Chain A
């Protein structure tokens, strides 16, 4: 797996591992009778039951489960019912800062790569937007909005797409019949369809299907951004959030009232209030979970994003 991230990212990776280690440590200590950590990920690590002895900083002998010997401990296998219920007590939300976007498409590359999206299709679209004739053009990345009143879920005839209690809308590619009603219903045009046999690596094709990783994709079913619930269960951030070098994507939990782009962390309510956050197509009543911060005090001029533009897109700028 190649990551096309900048140097910064590898540092971010180590910081996340650090935090994961902290969480793992507390869970391990909890196993030693320290009291349950209320903010540990809802699904604990898949413990093997086998204990390993190691040396502490003070030269004492401590025991931890063998599962923590891995840099990223294995998570326990989730049943389809658990994947459909989601993580209780959380309400995932994303904030996209339009003032920082330069159309680098690193988010798109990371997401397409990690989910093995069919070449030519994108789960994240970075759109060149201009709301009206005399208003400023800007770059707008769009993901699935994970609406609280999702029109796609309303019309699905077989419960193949569903809303979980943590706010995430997922697709079950084992259930989907490929009627594409959800694609017609989505006003954000965020869903893509596997018209062809998906192009997968052998490793991914051999995996059992999981709604949370949305892999392996299947021919004749629908796919879309899934807010990477497999990453959030491990305490990590979705791939687009970590891939963006400008910190455009901020991901977090509305109930915890915090969002982060890996480097900076903000209180969600303060951020939306201070920067006048808004949602797309609010008047349709879909109640999306993705907030946008308006393109004010831009980090980059709009034109700097044109270098990355594909010629086919240049003809279809909005308005």
Chain B
């Protein structure tokens, strides 16, 4: 028995060590870097010529930068869901997913901050937010909660990483000199004593408790960027809960996609098993049903009343110019995944992966629908402006920067998986031991 456990832990370790990129990994990374470079060039053009290179104008003054921002903030909530809530609830099967969720969260929140700086007309005055910040402004609230959430997520990534760093330090030949230096710098002080573990476990517990209200705050405050205005489609008391339920859904979808990709790329079938897909599939169904509930509240209730400012906006969403996108987001982003995942056959890895992609893509378009159509229905008619002010379709620079930011987020996740074990080694070993002892 004992021999089995010893070889098991060696087996686990060698399975979970970060692996260098294969050919596919190189192509993937290379493509992402190329997209990022194009995005950076587009941003250079924007800095040089001003925001006129976008197609945002006086009426649609917020475009896909802002909808991308909301999308990123939404995805970043997954850290609190998978890592924090599942840890606190002692959900054992979630252990392999915690680091994936956490790095998605950290990466998303970093790019949320970057894309919001890109949207600013005067990014060099960013410090004004801290020197002259008004506590009455929802943007200042957003800055506070985003920086807080970023710090907590980093800590929640770092603490469980410490035991793994100690394991990684043993494999200098496999990881290479440079990475070894990095591991040494980050975690050489971890020796794995009982006292250290005690402090670490307590800290992780505190983090898990603290991150949940902060995560709720982050997306509620982001929703208040819209709900504190008078505009039709935004002037809704439903927005906080609506955004949070959407965030949980898209976060779960993102984790499912990442699970599948890492499982295939690093051959982790033993650790991310079909059970995980079964469980995550059920969770995605639950979250999608909750999100559908909030969507019904958000759209059916104003549609019943058809107040004048909202009438044109709602008609445009249901049957007008934005109808294809709206129904796509609803059906592909929510309804179809529910149907796929309700059935046991649908909760196998591949169908769950497809459902996850549908959720994420549907969610991106949903965020676009929240931001732009409302701005095309101001209270006073759109007159005395050039024709281009009455429509909005993002320019190539905007697409380049938005897709570049998505590529950048994926790049951060990719590099993280290259450097650190994407599944916590130490916790997996501990769990195997516990299982063996029980048996």
- Report which A residues bind B (CB closer than 8 A): 108, 120-122, 125-129, 142, 151, 154-160, 175-181, 183-185, 187-189, 191-197, 219-221, 281, 284, 310, 312-313, 316-318
CB neighbours (8 Å) of B138 from chain A are 155, 181
- CB pair A158–B132 under 8 Å, yes or no, is yes
* Residue on A nearest B140 in the bound complex, by CB: A157
CB neighbours (8 Å) of B383 from chain A are 125, 127-128, 313, 316-317
Chain B 320-349, CB within 8 Å of chain A: the 1/0 string? 000000000000000000000000000000
- CB pair B122–A157 under 8 Å, yes or no, is no
Residue total for B at the interface (Cβ-Cβ under 8 A)? 47
A159–B120 Cα gap in the complex (Å)?
Answer: 16
CB neighbours (8 Å) of A181 from chain B are 137-139, 225
Decide: A189 near B137, CB < 8 A? Known: A177-B121, A219-B50, A221-B121: no
Q: Which of B79-87, B171-179, B252-260, B384-392 contacts A (4 or more CB under 8 A)?
A: B384-392
Contact of A178 (CB < 8 Å), options: B120, B229, B230, B385: B120
Interface CB pairs A-B, < 8 A, 7: A121-B385, A142-B380, A151-B230, A185-B230, A187-B229, A316-B383, A317-B381
- CB pair A183–B134 under 8 Å, yes or no, is no
CB neighbours (8 Å) of A196 from chain B are 49-50, 52
From residue A195, how far is it (CB to closest CB) to chain B in Å?
A: 4
A193–B114 Cα gap in the complex (Å)?
Answer: 22
* Residue on A nearest B55 in the bound complex, by CB: A195
* Residue on A nearest B135 in the bound complex, by CB: A157
- CB pair A158–B379 under 8 Å, yes or no, is no
CB neighbours (8 Å) of A120 from chain B are 385-386
- CB pair B375–A184 under 8 Å, yes or no, is yes
Chain B 144-161, CB within 8 Å of chain A: the 1/0 string? 000000000000000000
Decide: A156 near B380, CB < 8 A? Known: A177-B121, A184-B375, A316-B390: no
Decide: A175 near B58, CB < 8 A? Known: A313-B384, A316-B390: no
Chain B 237-250, CB within 8 Å of chain A: the 1/0 string? 00000000000000
- CB pair A312–B379 under 8 Å, yes or no, is no
- Report which B residues bind A (CB closer than 8 A): 49-52, 54, 56-59, 61-62, 119-123, 125-126, 128-129, 132-134, 136-140, 143, 225-226, 228-231, 375, 378-387, 390
CB neighbours (8 Å) of B61 from chain A are 180, 183-184, 193
- CB pair B230–A284 under 8 Å, yes or no, is yes
Decide: A127 near B121, CB < 8 A? Known: A157-B133, A178-B51, A184-B231: no
From residue A277, how far is it (CB to closest CB) to chain B in Å?
A: 19
- CB pair A195–B51 under 8 Å, yes or no, is yes
* Residue on A nearest B139 in the bound complex, by CB: A157
A183–B140 Cα gap in the complex (Å)?
Answer: 17
- CB pair A127–B384 under 8 Å, yes or no, is yes
CB neighbours (8 Å) of B386 from chain A are 120, 312
- CB pair B128–A175 under 8 Å, yes or no, is yes
Decide: A177 near B229, CB < 8 A? Known: A194-B50, A316-B382: no
- CB pair B125–A180 under 8 Å, yes or no, is no
Contact of B139 (CB < 8 Å), options: A108, A155, A219: A155
A189–B385 Cα gap in the complex (Å)?
Answer: 12
Decide: A128 near B381, CB < 8 A? Known: A219-B50, A284-B230: yes
Contact of A108 (CB < 8 Å), options: B56, B122, B378, B384: B384
- CB pair B122–A129 under 8 Å, yes or no, is no
CB neighbours (8 Å) of B132 from chain A are 158-159, 175
* Residue on A nearest B141 in the bound complex, by CB: A157
From residue B52, how far is it (CB to closest CB) to chain A in Å?
A: 4
- Interface hub of B50, B136, B140, B390 (most chain A Cβ within 10 A): B50
A211–B313 Cα gap in the complex (Å)?
Answer: 36
- Interface hub of B58, B225, B231 (most chain A Cβ within 10 A): B58
CB neighbours (8 Å) of A178 from chain B are 51, 120-122, 125
CB neighbours (8 Å) of A180 from chain B are 61-62, 121
Contact of A188 (CB < 8 Å), options: B49, B379, B382, B390: B379
- CB pair B380–A155 under 8 Å, yes or no, is no
- CB pair B137–A127 under 8 Å, yes or no, is no
CB neighbours (8 Å) of B49 from chain A are 196-197
- Interface hub of A176, A184, A221 (most chain B Cβ within 10 A): A184
From residue B160, how far is it (CB to closest CB) to chain A in Å?
A: 35
- CB pair A177–B128 under 8 Å, yes or no, is yes
* Residue on A nearest B225 in the bound complex, by CB: A181
CB neighbours (8 Å) of A155 from chain B are 137-139, 228-229
With A180-B121, A195-B51 known, 16 other A-B pairs at CB within 8 A are A120-B385, A122-B384, A126-B384, A127-B384, A154-B228, A155-B229, A157-B137, A177-B128, A183-B58, A184-B62, A184-B229, A184-B375, A189-B379, A219-B50, A313-B384, A317-B383
CB neighbours (8 Å) of A197 from chain B are 49-50
CB neighbours (8 Å) of B126 from chain A are 177
A176–B387 Cα gap in the complex (Å)?
Answer: 27
From residue A134, how far is it (CB to closest CB) to chain B in Å?
A: 15
